[in-house]
Amino acid sequence: MNKLEMTSRAQAVLRLNDAGEFTKPSALQYPHQWNWDSALIAFGLAHFDLPRAYTEIRSLLRAQWRDGMVPHIIYSAGSTDYFPPPEFWQTANLPHGSPLPTSGLTQPPILATVIRMMGNVARLGSPATQPTYHEFLREVFPHLLTWHRWLHSARDADGTGLPCLLHPWESGMDNSPLWANALDRITPRDLPPFKRYDAIHVAPDERPLAPDYERFVYLTDRARQLHWDARALLEQMPFLVQDVLFCSILHRADEDLAALAVELGEATHEIESWLQRTRKVFNERFWVDERGLYLDYDLRARAPIPVNANATFAPLYAGLASPAHATRLVKEHFDNPAEYAPGVNSKFRLPSVAKNEPGYSARRYWCGPVWIQMNWIIAQGLRRYWFATEADSLIHDALALMEQSGFREYYDPRDGSGCGSQDFSWSAALALDMIATRSEDSSGD
């Protein structure tokens, strides 16, 4: 497929899933608005319809909670075949909640980064788009600032300023083996009645297992009993982790937020203080020298989570890895065929979990499949250091997967067959960016 054909197919997916003011991640499986999906989708839209990209972000920020949190799901009226439904969260009428029906959780804060990148797209476009971008930026900046402030304070469980997650859904990597030990410690008693819909449109062996889902529901139930009160949640939620991917995305977004503040002539000292604090504590908290890996941290067990998932490469994207750590990550893990490199049991980069992890499973959601947005994030990280060839291999494989199997939610790393939902919006959105960026340095198809 040539670039023009792939571009028009990717745009068609975004149009297909367009619900007017937001874009569904996929028409049947995810009929509402998701936080980091919407941010990445907006970036794809910016490549061909900048005003629609602004609308996507405005509709996400309209749901911001009064305390600053930007929620992970914003419900649209009329869709009934998704669990959990809006009333399940019991978030309506909370004094610190949202004016709209939303979940009670948040998701990886990639939005400030996307908005900064959209500025580059606007600058490359017609001169008419530039004043509009500046106005848009002025409008959204206060929302970004309050969200980041909330992450660094309401979610600061240990005084480090590294936000913690209360539920696997907040990580975006719902059923990753990263959470297995923490979830195993939980016995889901007195579960409220619920019915899953997520394995109707997607093969059950590509979705989370029943024990994981029961714990997702149990944790939601615990949080709603605590009325989503920030302090009570930190004190009482049985699941409390600091995640390498989430903290890396936030740090990179803080860097981008500081740049946006400068562009607007706003003060940067508060953002600088977050940046400095994270630089001071990040490696001490997450780097495990014996394994040459960044590992998540379980605050309830007071111990690193000993699972090798591809989130371990995210500190490159945030510029938080030292040159020595970056080299070890690439040489000992990224290039290792037993873990992530093609050769043993895989053809495509980058499995979401190392292939030699006991919890690895090639087709099951976050237990092993390749995800397009992870390739996109980690490629940026590799380029930030000196690993351009490795970065190119991630973009090459992402495009090859989408060409072979369409814009799927995730892919089997062994043969590249598609898994999860079809016509998945952020895969299409990031394909548009990958094609545009690649065409700058190559003239052919």
CA dist 182 and 137 (Å) reads 39
Give me 261's structure tokens.
């503040």
Block residue for tokens 């930026």: 137
Residue 38: CB minimum distance to ligand DGY, A:
12
Catalytic residue among 409, 412, 423, 433: 409
Give me the amino acid identity at 221: D
Which strands make up the sheet holding 241-242, listed edge to edge?
241-242, 297-298, 303-304
CB of 198 to ligand DGY, least distance (A): 6
Which of these, 429, 370, 426, lies nearest to 25 by C-alpha position?
426
Which CB atom, from 381 or from 418, has the smaller least distance to ligand DGY?
A: 418
174 tagged catalytic: yes
Task: Give whichever of 68 and 108 is closer to ligand DGY, judged by the CB atom.
Answer: 108
Cβ proximity to ligand DGY: between 173 and 316 the closer is 173
254 catalytic per annotation? no
Closer residue to ligand DGY (CB): 328 or 364: 364
Nearest to 48 by CA among 160, 158, 129, 144: 129
Query: Which parts of 81-159 are beta strand (E)?
Result: none
Q: In angstroms, give the least distance from the CB of 175 to ligand DGY.
A: 9
Q: Find the helix or strand (DSSP H, E) in which 116 lies.
A: helix 111-124
Applying CB under 6 A, among 67, 174, 423, 433 the residue interacting with ligand DGY is 174
Nearer to ligand DGY, 382 or 429 (CB): 429
Return all residues near 72 (Cβ < 8 A) that are at least 6 apart: 34, 35, 102, 103, 105, 106, 107, 169, 170
Residues 6+ apart with CB under 8 A from 444: none
- Please name which of 325, 331, 329 lies closest in space to residue 308, comparing C-alpha atoms: 329
Q: How far is the CB of 222 from ligand DGY (least distance, A)?
A: 17
- The nearer residue to ligand DGY, 125 or 188, going by C-beta atoms, is 188
Active-site residue identified among 18, 37, 170, 174: 174
- The dihedral region occupied by 226, where left means phi > 0, alpha psi between -120 and 50, and beta the remainder, is alpha
Please report, as residue ranges, which positions from 150 to 169 form the binding site for ligand DGY (by CB under 6 A). 169
Q: Which among 10, 24, 26, 49 is positioned nearest to 421, based on CA atoms?
A: 26
Within 8 A by CB and 6+ apart from 289, the residues are none
Instruction: Closer to ligand DGY by CB, 198 or 254: give it.
Output: 198
Q: How far is the CB of 169 from ligand DGY (least distance, A)?
A: 4
- Which candidate, 142, 177, 195, places its Cα nearest to that of 309? 177
Please state the closest distance from residue 286 (CB atom) to ligand DGY, in A: 24
174 versus 412: smaller Cβ distance to ligand DGY: 174
User: Which two three-digit tokens encode residue 122?
Assistant: 């606007």
- Cα gap 51→257, rounded to integer Å: 21
Look at the block and give the residue holding tokens 């079809």: 422
CB atoms within 10 A of CB 161: 19
- Whose tokens are 């619920």? That residue is 194
Q: Where are the alpha helices (DSSP H) in 304-349?
A: 314-317, 323-328
The whole-angstrom distance between residue 67's C-alpha and the CA centroid of its chain comes to 22
Q: How far is the CB of 89 from ligand DGY (least distance, A)?
A: 12
Please count the residues of this chain forming the interface with ligand DGY, following the rule CB under 6 A: 4
Of positions 198, 206, 296, 409, contacts ligand DGY by CB under 6 A = 198
Kindly identify the residues of this chain, within the stretch 65-94, that bind ligand DGY according to CB under 6 A.
Answer: 72
206 binds ligand DGY (CB under 6 A): no
Q: Which of residues 282-311 bind ligand DGY (CB under 6 A)?
A: none
Write down the least CB distance from residue 386 to ligand DGY, Å: 35
Active site residue ranges: 174, 409
Contact footprint for ligand DGY (CB under 6 A): 72, 169, 174, 198
